[in-house]
Amino acid sequence: MTVLQQDAAPLPGTSPDRPHVTELRLSAFARHRNTTVPLGPFTLLTGPSGSGKTSALRALGALAGLSGGARLAEVFPDPGMCVPERARPDAQARRGFRIGCTVDGPAGPVRLDLAVQAEPELRIVGERLTGPGVTYLETALRDPGRRDVQAAWHTAGSVSVTRAPLPDDLLGTALLPLRVAGRTEGQRQVLAAAEQTVVGLRSLFACDPAPDRMRAPVPVGDGRLLAGCDNLAAVLRRTRTECAIRHGLLVTAARAGLAGPVRDVLAETGTGGRAGALVDRGGGVYSPAGRLGDGELRYLALALVLLTGPGVLDVDTVAEVPDAYQTLTVLADGLDRGLDPVQSRELAGLAARMCARGHIRLVAAAGAQAPVVPEARAHGATVVDLEP
């Protein structure tokens, strides 16, 4: 069960030209049964420990991985933990889980629902891709002895559907652009729905800054921020040079959330081509990142993520689709971890401002009593209480 809370006017919606995930469904997944999570431009999942915040983010991340072509075992390395605790095996000792989502965009709302068998072996046993009044794709496991599922997709030509086998460890929706010719209007509808779903899911960046790995100098590399923000210094070096406006916003955020005076945030390249992050305190005084607290480093890294985009974050976007038609979705588990009330307030405000622009969305999780929860609600975020 989910309880939607809104204490302020909701943030402006994402442009319909940009595919984006608007709903996550956890029909039977880990602790969740028949849970529906609405997703806005800025969504904060909250609830007590054990309410399923992390598992919800994990399910959304798994759908994103599958849409990018990952195999089932890659996104569910421990599938038994995804099976609801009280789920009973059937006569063939099979147990599994079911998840899904809705992706909105130019093709209208498109629903993706997935049934996965976790035991005795991991495989997809059913997949449905649907729109209002139409089933674009439907797959089912017909022969347990074969490593494929029987698929049927909408054609609306001389025959109503086309049937063919698809692998049972890959998302069928992601394979449709390689299998559907697009000759009939029905096939073009299928392609539009599949491509919208893939684009909406693939543009996802799971971020969990790890302060212990952010303090030491790092190789400059390609300047794309990693999920743990280990290479924060290398990315600061790049963004400070490439975009003065966004860097100025980052410095403003740093002034509000870091202890002591802040004149600038920069990176210095030392011997061996390694970059180290520095805070310019003014008067020729510089504080290395190693002197910052864990909360300060997490705050700075999360602010940087919100102020950048797919070209800076290490995210697997769809190269064939222009950035103007993609929306980056950031997943941030433990958004409140290590943050004080001031940092929580500033980060919530920054997230709301950036998400309102429409090119980035944030799905985060925080504890039920975290200071960031009322701040997010006050800024128009979609706050969802996950009740155990």
Percent of the chain with pLDDT over 90: 66
CB 170 within 8 A of CB 192: no
DSSP E strand boundaries for the chain: 2-5, 20-29, 32-38, 42-47, 95-104, 110-119, 123-131, 134-140, 148-154, 161-167, 204-207, 218-219, 264-269, 274-282, 285-288, 328-332, 360-367, 382-386
Confidence of residue 314 (pLDDT cuts 50, 70, 90): low
Residue type, 191: L
Higher-pLDDT residue of 101 and 227 is 101
Q: Which pLDDT does position 47 carry in this prediction?
A: 92
Question: Six-digit token pair at 114?
Answer: 């997935």
- Single pTM value for the model: 0.91
CB 27 within 8 A of CB 98: yes
Q: What is the mean pLDDT of residues 95-120?
A: 96
Q: What is the mean pLDDT of residues 353-361?
A: 89
Closest CA to 9 of 385, 388, 381, 383: 381
Confidence of residue 310 (pLDDT cuts 50, 70, 90): low
pLDDT digits (tens, 9 = 90+) for 203-218: 888 999 999 999 988 8
According to DSSP, the residues that pair with 97 across neighbouring strands are 116
Confidence of residue 281 (pLDDT cuts 50, 70, 90): very high
Alpha carbon 152 to its chain's center: 29
| 3-class DSSP state of 104 | strand
Q: Which helix (H) or strand (E) holds 290?
A: none
pLDDT digits (tens, 9 = 90+) for 52-98: 999 999 999 999 999 999 999 999 999 999 999 888 888 888 899 99
**pLDDT of 235 over the 60 cut:** yes
| Cα end-to-end distance, the chain, whole Å | 8
Q: Which pLDDT does position 256 carry in this prediction?
A: 96
Helix axes 185-202, 53-67, angle to 10 degrees: 130
Question: Rounded distance, CA 45 to CA 334, Å?
Answer: 10
**pLDDT of 321 over the 60 cut:** no
**pLDDT of 8 over the 70 cut:** no
Question: Six-digit token pair at 157?
Answer: 């030509």
Q: Which pLDDT does position 207 carry in this prediction?
A: 92
Q: Which of 100-114, 153-167, 174-188, 315-329 bottoms out in mean pLDDT, i.e. has the lowest?
A: 315-329
**pLDDT of 4 over the 90 cut:** no
Q: Which pLDDT does position 73 carry in this prediction?
A: 96
Q: Which pLDDT does position 170 carry in this prediction?
A: 96
Q: Which of 181-185, 347-351, 374-378 bottoms out in mean pLDDT, i.e. has the lowest?
A: 181-185
Q: What is the mean pLDDT of residues 146-160?
A: 85
Q: Which pLDDT does position 1 carry in this prediction?
A: 52
Question: Rounded distance, CA 137 to CA 114, Å?
Answer: 11
Mean pLDDT of the chain: 89
Question: Rounded distance, CA 35 to CA 65, Å?
Answer: 21
